[in-house]
Amino acid sequence: MPTSRGSCTGSGVLLGLTFAGAAPKALIFREPEDILTLGALVASRLFGHDIAVLRLSADEYDAVAGQENATISAMRLRAGPLNLALDPVVPSALHLNETDREFLSGAHGEAVRLAMEIITTMATVQGAASLTDVTRVHIDGCIYAGPAFLVFARRMADLGARVRVPTTMNAISVDHANWHAQGVGEEFGLPASQLADAYVEMGAHPTFTCAPYLLEDKPVPGEDIAWAESNAVIYANSVLGARSIKHADFMDLCIALTGRAPRAGVYLDENRAPRRVIDVALPRDFDDAFWPMLGWLVGQAAPDRIPLIRGLERTTPSRDDLKALCAAFGTTSASPMLHIAGITPEANLPPTADADHLTIGAAEFARLWAGFNQGAAAVDLVALGSPHFSAAESAAFADLMEGRTVHPDVTTIITVGRGTLASIAENGVQARLQAAGVKILPDLCWCSISEPVFPPSARVLMTNSGKYAHYAPGLSNRAVRFGSLAQCAEAACSGQASSALPAWIARFLG
């Protein structure tokens, strides 16, 4: 495969495949790739499950891909007439300071030694010459996507792992305090909560949100951080101007234990410049559905490079609009950031010399609308909060539901972080939403929710999230409808989604 894209969770999924005896024997990449590479590294160093990982030049990759079989040994790749020498990854050229060397020597314990060994190996893979200090970490590996995640966390905790920098936690897979009462079975709820507890035991803060940029303490421009969770990384780089590559699950903990990360990728000024310029034809009188749709389309148009979006200079997107855009972008692009001319803080960076040019117009929006609305018109679940809703989004939905109630055949759920829940409880928004029949769930998010919290009887869900519209068919095995927040409120009250193309897209098509 050329590279990977999407969720940072892929490293843990690969580790789980090794435990199940279903992992690939080898992974062969053409482009830079960190997430699956890290999963293979953890499988080998901590658990003795070896997966060969190769990165070839474009010509070598194309030649190997044309063969029916390949044989890989420690030093050679043979495929048909090809006989390629392999160079092992050796971090000998990496500059380490005295503390780094202490970590590697085991002077600070076995967990830290393993963490630094993984960091230095990945730094070499990424072409880093040195490591950088980070001020904060966001853990993505606390989502229970299978037993491998708990096995890893428990192994590190039992080895005495403790974080050295402030560390927040992603949404988890259960409402930590209420999963028993919600009918979640012990076979899932117990390991999911134990996984969260393991990270708290190691010193992480139980923030349990996939939107750490909504927390009161957020990164500032130029700050080196180490975040996992793809939407958070993209938002931090693009909107806040902080610096983090898209760290894979497990790498996040390794960095939290050491406070050190490979100085590579978008930690470096020269790697933050756009390599594709995308001109967007701006429709008139568009609604909030425009932003997640644009993010998805831009990601599809720039799956492997940082884009500069032009044409939005006269718009004034809210932080929540940009949140929706960044999250949807992360579902279709492997890039850790984007620029929006006139809006994001580094949009004046000159494009690279090899930057190319694309356009996005009405036809692309119309096709995506059709693709996002494959479900029937009858809706029985409205799913909001992917990424977690902010206090402002919660208030906006409460305004839309004022004087109305959720239809008896529809379940309407908003997922939020604990900080947002405390805020809307204090300002009365939570009570207003609940009076309208809206359920509010903390700790978990739609990408980690499961039955019975996800209503088992639901067949068609509606969301305003481009991220969830992309992932929901595969994650939930349900059909999807997509629309603006107002359209979601209408579906919540009527049980029906409009089949008409939104007026702004219809006008856009002319």
Mean pLDDT computed over 134-162: 95
| Position 6 pLDDT exceeds 70 | no
Question: What mean pLDDT is predicted for residues 257-266?
Answer: 97
Phi, psi at residue 460, to the nearest 5°?
-130, 125
Catalytic-role residue among 7, 193, 390, 448: 7
| H-only helix segments in 356-413 | 362-372, 391-400
pLDDT of residue 183: 96
Q: For the segment 327-348, what is each residue's pLDDT rounded down to a tens digit?
A: 999 999 989 999 999 999 999 9
Alpha-carbon gap, residue 445 to 209, rounded angstroms: 8
Closest CA relative to residue 385, chosen from 229, 210, 142:
210
Q: 99 — phi, psi (to 5°)?
A: -65, -40
pLDDT 10s digits, 61-103: 999 999 999 999 989 999 999 999 998 888 878 999 999 999 9
User: Tens of pLDDT along 11-52?
Assistant: 999 999 999 999 999 999 999 898 899 999 999 999 999 999
Q: Do residues 307 and 449 touch, judged by C-beta distance below 8 A?
A: no
Instruction: Name 266's Cβ contacts closer than 8 Å, sequence gap at least 6.
Output: 237, 243, 244, 245, 272, 306, 336, 337
Based on C-alpha coordinates, what's the Rg of the chain?
Answer: 23
Is pLDDT above 90 for 138?
yes
What confidence score (pLDDT) does residue 39 get?
94
- C-alpha span between 469 and 291 (Å, rounded): 13
499 included as an active-site residue? no
Q: With contact defined as beta carbons under 8 Å apart, do 147 and 191 qualify?
A: yes
Domains and CATH numbers, the chain: 9-85 (no CATH), 98-270 (3.30.499.10), 273-360 (no CATH), 370-508 (3.30.499.10)
Average pLDDT over residues 119-134: 95
pLDDT attached to residue 399: 98
Average pLDDT for the chain = 96
Q: Residue 345 in contact with residue 241, Cβ under 8 Å?
A: yes
**In the prediction, which pLDDT does 9 show?**
84
411-416 and 439-442 as β-strands: parallel, antiparallel, unpaired?
Answer: parallel
pLDDT digits (tens, 9 = 90+) for 388-409: 999 999 999 999 999 999 999 9
**Percent of the chain at pLDDT exceeding 90:** 94
Give the DSSP H or E segment for 156.
Answer: helix 147-158
